[in-house]
Structure formats: structure tokens, C-alpha cells
Chains A and B, each alone.
Chain A
């Protein structure tokens, strides 16, 4: 009985340790000091004031996007399009931030809403194509990523570009549309709270609401749901739109809380990290929060390790990959270990 409680904690720790050991070897080969690097990684990203702020800053888009992925997953849909939906959400909020004038208490929600809606549109399209036309959502969401990225690139370079900017980005959005900083002096902004609220909402919807029941039913068995009178196709479209909407919120929070403008590379791959996070969480909303925090720490720790220990970025990427891999292995082995010990 005791084992059941310990394994979920122990096995990820073993996994992370193994990844770090392999990483240490690589860091040594690269001529840096692994101990310095790891000290930096952990103390900075989790225990120092600013470091933790940075971790939270990274966590916000990851948590929002992975929430979307998880929601889609509940309805049996693979949303690989988080990336493009982030870009679109960023666009939506930037447009409202740039062209609408309103007091903060209206402007912020309005811009967030716009971010949600823009992301939702980008999620709805594959949802519609899947539900009504049976077109595989993996391919459409993937393709829409590229289209969104190019589209935003065009917009920030042409109509939305700040005059005289050396690089494509928009002017600053209105002060009233900016999210507040929640840890003074650091970069951690209101987007983190937004993400936590979003997760809470999704948790309640999935666990407690009839809508969540409906979504889960559709995800598990479309035929049976259909016979029971559940409208399967609208559910899929709704879920895909909402999934895109959450990713859109991630884009919006990056624009409104971090950069205060629309810029070219809104997401350096959050969409793909989010997929890994959602799957590693195995449907658990708490897992989503913890994994996002962990990935956030890993991502912000990457910068820290470079800065203070000179560990090359290539090694850090390898360590990140290995960590994901080893955690996945640990999770897969967990039931077996449990069986063997009981």
C-alpha cells in the first residue's frame, strides 16, 4: 500500500537523476563543470527569487497550451497545432492592445478574449474538418502551424510593424492592456494566474460538469455517444476550438505580460512541449501543473546553465530530451514495478 504512494514520486526522481548523469558526462566532455551547472540549474530556477520568477514566466504559456492539448485529448483529438494557435492568440490580443482604447479593467479582459477567440478560430478549423469531413486533425493542425507562423511574420513585418524597428515587431500595446507583474522586479506576470485559473476551470469542466462528461464520452466511444443522443460532431468542434483558445491565451499572455508587443517568434516550440506535458500528465490536471512547472524550470534553467556555468546549449537540449524520455520510461514502468513489489 505504501509503495503506491511512493512510486509516483520516486520514479520521476530516478528518471531525472539518470538524465542528469548522462548530461553530466556530456558537460564534462564539453569542458564545463557539471556540478556548477546543476547547482545553477536547481538553485536558480527553483529557489531564487528571480529565478523562480523566470520559471513561472516560462510555465505560463506551457500550462495554458498543454491545458488545451489535454482538453482535446479528452475528446480523442490530437491537437498538434498549439504552436500556430499561440501565434494567432498573440495576434488577437495584440490587435486589441494596439487599436482599442479602454480602461484597464475592460481592456485586459477584452484583449484576452480576443486572444482566446483568435486561437479558437485556429483550433476550430481543424475541428470542423475532422468532425464534418473526417480529415485527420494531426495533419491539419500541423499544416496550420506553418501558415500561422508565416502569416504573423508577414503582419509584423508589414502592416503592424513599428516604424524604424530594426527587426519585425509591432509597436507597444496600450498600457491598459498589459498584464501586471505579480512578483515585483521579476518578469513573472499575470499570465501565470490566468493559466492557473484556466487549469482550474478545465478541471471543473472535465471532472464535474455535464459538458466534461459529454466530452469524455465522445473521446472514449463516438459510436456509443452518438447512439445515446450526444451530438458528437459539435462536441469535437467545440473542444478543438476551446483547445485552440487556451493556446491562444498563451500567446495573448506572452504579448500582454512579457513582451508588450506582437513579435515574430511568439513561440519557440511551446506547442510541442505542451504535447509532451499533456501526455506525461496522463490526463491528470495536477500533473499538468507540475509538469509545466518542471518544463518551465528546465527551460529557464537552460539559460541559467549557459550563463553561469558555460554549459553549451546543445548539451542542455540533449538533457531536456533525455529527461522527457526517462520520465516517460519511468511512468511506463511504474505499474510493473508496483506489481512486482506487491
Chain B
């Protein structure tokens, strides 16, 4: 019973963190390249919707996940086009993406899923032999493909950013695009690739939400997770592992507050639902504070002002 409780807690923490972490990783790619991405919420929703719709029609979760990946990437492409090519204000572009995605997914959702409850096939869990038998933490090795993929993505992103040439280019573009430009790197290309890749990842997070966690699509089901992902990203100082840990913190406190409620502790529930945000706030104040964004974050790059007063 006690073991079970812990295992459940761990599993719940993980499930609550996964969509956040996908979104945060997606945001990380975009923001490390210098493109602000407040549209994570809309991208999550897009991923959730397309994965559900594609699975609904094809009956195949793999198709659903791929669709979410593509749709997320497409929204990323739109964001990149707006921010990089047209130099639209990046904050506005993100907010607009949230609005459009919210409206369109609901609209299409009603067209596609009207009437019957959607019955989607489940994403099977893959047990990793031996490891899955470890008490309590064994639950980490009894997850579905998207969770393992996430672990891989976090590791790969870390490796990519700090140990590869394209990763170096990405960081340089986000910090000082003129420098990258004079070194022969295409700022535009790097930003496009980063934002689109980011979109794909966020789309995956949406797919997790719709296919794994809930198994159907509902309107507005991202419910603010995109914004929490942004908070995690900043909290984690735009570092993949830091951000993932920040997501875990949000997931863990959320899971905790739900358990406190479930145990019947006599605290008004509003104080419990605010717990994750409160904890994050306290953690920020308690010294984990300063985080410096990539220097060029939010600034469109224009070559004619290269090297000039940025």
C-alpha cells in the first residue's frame, strides 16, 4: 500500500510533467535561437487535436503521433515565417497563434468528433525488463514510447546544444546573430530550423496529452500548460536539463497537491491548486533566481544593422 502510493505518486508526477517537458524542450529550441515563443499553448493544442484526429481516422497511434509532429512543425513554420522573415513582433505572433489554435482546434474538433465519444486506441506501454521490476522507481521503465522518447530528447538536446557544431551555431545565433552571420552561418536558416523543430516537439507533447494521458480530444485541453512550460524554461535557465527539472517540479507539486486533497486534509482547495505556482515562486526567490535569457531573444535580425548599435 505504501509502496503503491509512492509508485503512483511518481507515475503521476511523470505523467503531469511529460507534456510540460515536451513543450519546454520545444520552447528551448526556439528561444535558444533567439525567437521568443509564447505560442507553446497553441502548439500543444494543435498537437493534441491533430494526433487525436489522425488516430481517429487511421486507427493507428503512430499515425497520430506523426501527424502531431507535422502539425506542430507547421505551426512552428508559421511562427518562424512571421518572426524571422516578416519580423512581426514575436510576442504578438505567439499570442495570435494561441488564439487561432484555440479557435480552430475547437472548430474542427466539433466537426470531426461531434456526437459519439471518440474511442482511440491506446499507446501501449513498453516494459523494460529487469529495470521495471525495481520497486517504486521501476515505474519509470514501464512507460509508453513518448516518455522514453522524451528522455532521449532531453539527453540529445543537451548533447546537441553543448557538444555539436549545429548546437554551437544555434547558441551563437541566439546570443549574437551578427557574429554568427559574419562567421558564415545563416541566421535565417538556423532560426527556421530551430523554431520548426521546437514546434514538432511541442506537437509531440500535445499528442501525449491527447493519446496517452486522456485518450480523447477536448476543447482547450492544454489548459495553460504551455504557459507553465514557458515558466519552466525560464526557471531552468534555458538549459534542457534545468528546464526538464523545472517541469518535474511543477508536475511533482501538482501531483502532491492532488494527493493532499485526496487524503482529505482540511485546506481550502484553492490553496492546494495554487501550490505548484507558489512553490515555483518560493524556489525562485530562494536563490535559484537569476536567469539570463539568450541575448538576442525577441530581437529580429537585420543584416544592415550588423555590428551596429544593437
Residues of chain A at the chain B interface (Cβ within 8 Å): 26, 29-30, 78, 129, 133-136, 138-140, 142-144, 146-147, 150-151, 153-154, 157-158, 272, 275-276, 279-280, 312-322, 324-325, 328-329, 331-333
Contact = CB atoms under 8 A, between A and B. Distances in A.
A324 B94 CA distance: 10
B274 A151 contact: yes
Binding site secondary structure of chain B: helix
A129 B99 contact: no
A73 to B, nearest CB: 10
A147 B272 CA distance: 10
Contacts of B111: 29-30
Contact of A317 (B95, B106, B234, B293): B106
A314 to B, nearest CB: 4
B97 A26 contact: no
Contact of A30 (B97, B107, B231, B281): B107
A139 B231 contact: yes
A77 B100 CA distance: 26
Contacts of A333: 86
Contacts of A312: 107, 110
Contacts of A78: 91
A129 B95 contact: no
Contacts of B104: 26, 314, 318
14 contacts: A129-B289, A133-B285, A134-B289, A138-B234, A140-B281, A143-B280, A143-B281, A147-B278, A157-B270, A276-B91, A314-B110, A318-B100, A328-B92, A332-B88
A336 B277 CA distance: 43
A278 B285 CA distance: 28
B284 A317 contact: no
Contacts of A280: 89, 92
Contact of B231 (A129, A142, A154, A316): A142
Contacts of B92: 276, 279-280, 324-325, 328
A-B complex: 5 closest residue pairs judged by Cβ atoms = A321-B99, A318-B103, A317-B103, A321-B100, A154-B270
B82 interface: yes
Nearest to A316: B103
A135 B86 CA distance: 31
Nearest to B41: A272
B293 A147 contact: no
Contacts of A324: 92, 95-96, 99
B107 A26 contact: yes
Contact of B102 (A138, A142, A317): A317
A170 to B, nearest CB: 15
B103 A136 contact: no
Contacts, number: 140
B98 interface: yes
A314 B274 contact: no
Interface string B256-274: 0000000000001011011
Contacts of A150: 270-271, 273-274, 277
A23 B91 CA distance: 23
B192 interface: no
A270 B227 CA distance: 16
A306 to B, nearest CB: 13
Contacts of B227: 142
Contacts of B87: 332
A319 B106 CA distance: 13
Contacts of B219: 314
B95 A135 contact: no
- Most chain A CB inside 10 Å of its own CB: which residue of B82, B88, B111, B230: B88
A153 B271 CA distance: 10
B308 interface: no
Given A142-B227, A147-B277, A321-B98, 9 more contacts: A139-B230, A147-B281, A272-B95, A314-B104, A314-B106, A317-B106, A318-B103, A321-B96, A321-B103
Nearest to B78: A325
A151 B272 CA distance: 10
B96 A325 contact: yes
A139 to B, nearest CB: 4
A303 to B, nearest CB: 15
Contacts of A329: 82, 86, 88
Contacts of A315: 103, 107
Contact of A139 (B96, B102, B234): B234
Interface in B214-251: 219, 224, 227, 230-231, 234-235
A139 B230 CA distance: 8
A136 B88 CA distance: 23
A158 B89 CA distance: 42
- Most chain A CB inside 10 Å of its own CB: which residue of B86, B101, B109: B86
Contacts of B106: 313-314, 317
Interface in B259-309: 268, 270-271, 273-274, 277-278, 280-281, 284-285, 289-291, 293
A320 B96 CA distance: 8
B93 interface: yes
